[in-house]
Each structure stands twice: as structure tokens, then as C-alpha cells.
Amino acid sequence: MSRNVLIFGERGNQIRELITAARLVVEGGSTVAAVVNDSALAEEVSASGIAAVNITSAGLNKADVAAVARALQAVASNKDAAVVIVSADRRGRLVGSYLAQLMNAAFISNTDRVACTDDIICTRNTLGGMLCAEQKSLAANQVIAISAKVYDEAPSSSGGSVEELQDSFEAGGVSLIAESSKDTSVADITEADVLVVVGSGVEKDYLDQVQAIADKLSGLVACTKPVATDRKWYSEELVIGISGKTCKPSLALLFGVSGQVQFYAGIRDAKVIAAIDKDQNALITGLADYVLIADTTDAIPGIGAAL
Amino acid sequence: MEIIVAMKQVPDLQQVRLKNKEAVLEGVPLTFGDIDKRALEAAVQLRDTHEGTVHLLSIGNEELEDTAKEALAGGADAATLLISDEFADLDSAQVAQYLAAAIKDMDDYDAVLFGEASGDNYSGQVASRVAAILGYPLIGYAQKISYENGSVTVECSYESKVETVVAACPAVISVVSDIAEPRIPAVTAILKAGKKPKEIMDETDVGIDEASAVIETLSALAPDDNRKCEVVDDVGALIGALKAEKIL
Ligand SMILES: Cc1cc2nc3c(=O)[nH]c(=O)nc-3n(C[C@H](O)[C@H](O)[C@H](O)COP(=O)(O)OP(=O)(O)OC[C@H]3O[C@@H](n4cnc5c(N)ncnc54)[C@H](O)[C@@H]3O)c2cc1C
């Protein structure tokens, strides 16, 4: 069954991953990517051999989710696309779910795999990461948000094109008044072969020693959500879990991490998990390969010295 | 400031057990999601600064009346609860339709707050859908909200940047977990919770005969988490084990 697919994303690498996903479901249909006020990005993604639409409507700002969704709805309708694929980052989820409502569509969020039979079957975590579900749309239209790094970036290919859409769309009443960058100089934990993970059972004074352990193992430091969002010791980019990143390192060395499902869903695919926790009943003791029951204030210096 | 906080009751995941890879939910207590509790706290703080009320809105099965006490003790002034056996297993699109219909019937308010995503399904779409149905401004991933002269100024936390936006009220706002730390209710607040005004509605009261589901779940099973779970005696033994695995 041939399908036309509309893609929405904000960065080239992300859109190229979504193009790979789209190719699994188009079955002879066409793929078009829409971007907002970004001719360079439209040009860049068209190099993967697809049509790119640059929405340049006057007054349209990216922060106005409703207006962006209305513009995408117009592109979808114009291109006869009943399937929209967005990135499962914050903007993608927001715009995608609003668009789903406009299109009377299903919105399947945080999809880790798409497979095609008569329907598009999406695989995603549910119940806080405890279960892995297969879901499909019952509606004629569907918006699928795909997690980062699930698919490889589509390679360059000829046949792409760029067009501009200048129509104006009803504003959603949200004005952008300021913008500031977060620290994005942090390393990409999804690429690391070794991750040393800081949980709430680590004291702040020991972070340097944890970093030294990661350095000795040629790995990266990552963390649990409360360590980033409540204590603010690290960037949220380093969080593992359903609201952070999914990582597949050879070794995950966890310090003071209890192993709640929302965290574990992001590290489940590690080859070996070693956990240090002072509580022999902590959940993680049943979810790790090697468990050392110890206080992190002893184990961190101990491991640092032994490596 | 008049604020509605939409909260979802979810199973206490720490008490969910698996049997033949399926989750056993019978007997598992329901609670409001963690991020929803933080949305409630943010609403309570805004109300305390600007005066007004915080109104809890939630949909679910009959256990919701009990779960709602948690939010009423946590600072909500009143509750509208959509309760029916039909509401036990809805998808997000259905929930959004019912909630939006209930909101349309509620008195003037300035904002409808949601957590960024629920603790169980974590798909983060109900706020957007409600905003789309009601035609109100949608602001997502709020980490800070201020209110002045009938409009909100909100700092929104995206992965690589913070955007500050302004919208006229009423607005639909979803919040991230670091917006506020949920309070632990005092005993007096818990005692008073039962006496706060509550309106209970079913599908006929909200005026929607049937909202159709748009998602079908074909299977939901626990992945294989077969780990060795070997307890080692000391740091030396741990390093030895990792060396034996050839990853050190
Ligand atoms: C919707 C939702 C999404 C979420 N998404 C994520 C997510 O993506 N990622 C995530 O990580 N969390 C997420 N969470 C939070 C998650 O539920 C847990 O709260 C979190 O993972 C716990 O982090 P932790 O293990 O660092 O802390 P805790 O659960 O507090 O565990 C700390 C551990 O350290 C041990 N400990 C304490 N002191 C010491 C010491 N001195 N020495 C040795 N051990 C010690 C304790 O025994 C305990 O096992 C989410 C929650 C919700 C509701």
C-alpha cells in the first residue's frame, strides 16, 4: 500500500534519520520534509533526494506550536500525506500531537521501531518503560514521533527539490520574546562504549573522581534524572531513561542508582551492567550483572585507585 | 489567578509485578503521576502569589475519588472528576475530548496546567490536543511561569535552549518536572481535603456519547531482562569480573 509521508524536524541529521524511517513505510509513495523559515536546512535535506518545503509564511514563529501545526496540516493535505513522521524531541512531540488533533489522527510517541504490514506497527515503551508495546493507528491519519538514533541517517541522493510555502496561517497566540542556548557542549552519551552513571546515591564531592574513572575507561559520565533536574549537577543531555536518552554501551557502571523502570528503560540494552549500591534490596540488584553492596564514598575512590 | 490542573491517575509502578511478561495491575494502588504533582504545586504557588483558585480536573474509574484526595490535600481548592467504568481504559485522544468538553463547562480561568507527560504512557499529547480542541494558546515544557495583567510569560525548556514566550490567557501549559517540588501535605491539609467541593460527572454530563479510540495496542510485554545478578564481595572482585568479561 503506497503512502505519502510528511516529515517535520529542526535539524539536518534528525531529518535524515526520519527519512530512513519514512522509507520503511512509503512503499512507493513520496516523502516530503517541511521546515520552518530555514532555506539552508531545506536545501540540506533535499540532498537526500526528497522534496523539501520551506514554510516562510510572514509572522510564523517556531514557538507558536498551533501555527506551525496548521502550516504542516496544509502541507500534508497538499501532498496527500496521511502519515506524518516527527522527531520525538520536545518540539516534535508538541507540534506532532497538536497536528494529530487537527488531522483527527493517532499520535504514537517515542517510537523505537516502525514495521510495515498492511498497517504501520510502531514499537514503543509503555508503563513507564516496564513494557514494550506494539501499537497501530485506528484512524486514517497518523503522526509518529520517532526517537533519536533509532535509524541511520539517509545518505545523499539525487532527485531532491526545494519549494517555498508562503501562505499565512492562523496564529496560535504565542509570541517568542527571548531565546537562550543551554550548554550543548556536552558529549553524546548514546555514542559511548562505556558509561559511568551518577545516581542520587553519589555525593557532590565525588563527581571529580567519577569523571576520572570515566576517563580511565575511555568512557563518558551520564546520570539519572533527579541528578540533572533536581540537583542540577549535570546537563539534562546526560540523563538516561524514558525522558532522557536510550544507550547501548558495552559497560554501564552505575553508582548509587536505584534502577527505577523509567531509568532502566534507557540502559536495558547495555551489554554488561555493574552496580554499586549500599542497599542490598535496591531494585538494581536484580537488574545488573554484577552488584557490589557498598557505600559510594568508599567504592568510588576504591575503583578509581584499582583501575 | 484561576487555574485548572489536569492530573492523570497512574498505577504505582514500584508495586507492579510481572507474570509471563505481562504487567499485573490488579490490586496496584493508583496515584497521580509525579510530573502532574509538580504541575499542581506550580499552580498552587501561582495562586498563592496572585490569589484565586486551583481546580483539579481528572478522568478515570471509581478509584479516582480516592486518588483526588491526594491533590486536594496538596493544595487544590476544588475538583471536577469525570468518573465512569467507560473511562478506565481510554487512549489519549479520547481523554483529551472528555477533558476539553469538561473545561468548556467550567467557569472563567486563566490557565490549564498539565505535566509534560504521564508517568505510565509518557506520550505527552493530551495538553496539545486539549489546546487544539479549545483553540487556546499552547505552551509546552514550562520550567517557570509568571502571570500579569491577564497574560502569562513562560520559560520553556527545550533540549538545547530555553525559549521565553508570552500568551494571553486562557492558555494551556505543560510543565517539566523541575518547575516545582511537590509538597508533602500537612495532617490538617489531609483532614480538610475530604471537605473541599467536588463535582462528579460521567459521559452524559460532559455531553459526549462516545469518543473513538485512535490507537490500538497489539501487544505490551516486558522485554527479557536476563542479568547475572552476581553479588561481588569487594572492588577487586568487581574489577576481576569485568576483566573476565573482557570489557576492562
Ligand atoms: C514520567 C517520569 C519519567 C521519568 N524519567 C526518568 C528518566 O528518563 N531517567 C531517570 O533516571 N529517571 C526518570 N524518572 C525518575 C525515576 O522514577 C526515579 O525517580 C529516578 O530514576 C531515580 O534516580 P536515582 O536512582 O538516582 O535515585 P534514587 O531512586 O533515590 O536511588 C538512589 C540509590 O542510591 C543508593 N544510595 C544512596 N546513598 C548511597 C551511598 N552513599 N552509597 C551507595 N548507594 C547509595 C540508594 O540505596 C538507592 O538505591 C522519571 C519519573 C517519571 C515519573
pLDDT at B13 over 80: yes
- Provide the pLDDT for residue B225: 83
Q: How far apart are CA A257 and CA B64, in angstroms?
A: 32
Angle subtended at Cα A150 by Cα A276 and Cα A66, rounded to the nearest 5 degrees: 110
Cβ-based contacts of A245 with chain B (< 8 Å): none
- Are B127 and B172 spatial neighbours (Cβ–Cβ below 8 Å)? yes
- Provide the pLDDT for residue B210: 83
Task: Compute the average pLDDT of residues B173-188.
Answer: 95
Residues with Cβ within 8 Å of B156's Cβ and at least 6 positions away in sequence, in order, are A63, B139, B140, B141, B142, B143, B162, B163, B164, B165
Max CA distance (Å), chain B = 67
Angle subtended at Cα B235 by Cα B231 and Cα B241, rounded to the nearest 5 degrees: 60
Q: Cell numbers at residue A73, please?
A: 496540516
Cβ-based contacts of A100 with chain B (< 8 Å): 93, 125, 128-129
Distance from CA of B48 to the nearest CA of A (A): 23
What's the CA-to-centroid distance between A91 and ligand 1, angstroms?
Answer: 26
CA A226 vs. chain centroid, Å, equals 19
pLDDT at B176 over 90: yes
**Percent of chain B residues topping a pLDDT of 70:** 100
Closest by CA to B171, choosing from B155, B150, B192, is B150
- Provide the pLDDT for residue B116: 98
The residue to mutate among B177, B178, B238, having the most atoms of ligand 1 within 8 angstroms of its beta carbon, is B177
pTM of the model: 0.95
- Provide the pLDDT for residue A185: 77
- Provide the pLDDT for residue A117: 85
- Are A23 and A155 spatial neighbours (Cβ–Cβ below 8 Å)? no
3-class SS letters over B98-115: HHHHHHHCCCCCCEEEEE
Tell me the residues of chain B between 51 and 90 that have a Cβ less than 8 Å away from chain A.
none
- Are B43 and B113 spatial neighbours (Cβ–Cβ below 8 Å)? yes
Q: Which residue of B has its CA nearest to A137?
A: B215
pLDDT digits (tens, 9 = 90+) for B35-47: 999 999 999 999 9
What's the CA-to-centroid distance between A261 and ligand 1, angstroms?
Answer: 9
Please state, in angstroms and as integers, the Cα–Cα distance from residue B70 to each residue in B37, B64, B118, B122, B169, following that order.
9, 10, 17, 21, 27
A249 lines ligand 1 (CB under 6 A): no
Closest by CA to A207, choosing from A138, A301, A122, A287, is A301
- Provide the pLDDT for residue B173: 98
- Are residues A90 and B216, on separate chains, in Cβ contact within 8 Å? no
Q: Cell numbers at residue B60, please?
A: 478515570
Residue the block writes with cell 534490596: A281
Share of chain A residues as helix, strand and coil, in percent rounded to the nearest 5: 30, 30, 40
pLDDT digits (tens, 9 = 90+) for B24-35: 999 999 999 999
Q: Does B189 contact A at CB distance below 8 Å?
A: no
Name the residue facing B125 among A97, A225, A272 (closest C-beta): A97
A224 lines ligand 1 (CB under 6 A): yes
Q: How far apart are CA B107 and CA B225, in angstroms?
A: 50
Sign of CA dihedral B203, B204, B206, B209: positive
Per-residue pLDDT of chain A (307 residues), as tens digits, is 899 999 999 999 999 999 999 999 999 999 999 999 999 999 999 999 999 999 999 889 999 999 999 999 999 999 999 999 999 999 999 999 999 999 999 999 999 999 998 999 999 999 999 999 999 999 999 999 999 999 999 999 999 999 999 999 999 999 999 999 987 778 899 999 999 999 999 999 999 999 999 999 999 999 999 999 999 999 999 999 999 999 999 999 999 999 999 999 999 999 999 999 999 999 999 999 999 999 999 999 999 999 9
- Provide the pLDDT for residue B189: 95
In DSSP terms, which residues pair with B163 in a beta bridge? A179, B156
ω into B185 cis (within 30 of 0): no
- Kindly indicate whether the ipTM for this predicted assembly is greater than 0.90, answering yes or no: yes
A129 lines ligand 1 (CB under 6 A): no
Mutate to test the interface with B, among A110, A117, A130 (most CBs of B within 10 A): A130
Q: How far apart are CA B243 and CA A217, in angstroms?
A: 12
A285 lines ligand 1 (CB under 6 A): no
Residue A227: CB atoms within 10 Å: 24
Amino acid at B3: I
Name the residue facing B232 among A93, A290, A307 (closest C-beta): A290
pLDDT digits (tens, 9 = 90+) for B125-164: 999 999 999 999 999 999 999 999 999 999 999 998 999 9
Distance from CA of B180 to the nearest CA of A (A): 9
Tell me what the pLDDT averaged over chain B comes to. 96
- Sort B166 into a burial class: Cβ within 10 Å, 0-12 / 13-18 / 19+: buried
- Provide the pLDDT for residue A186: 84
Ligand 1 atom at minimal distance to the Cα of residue A243: 8
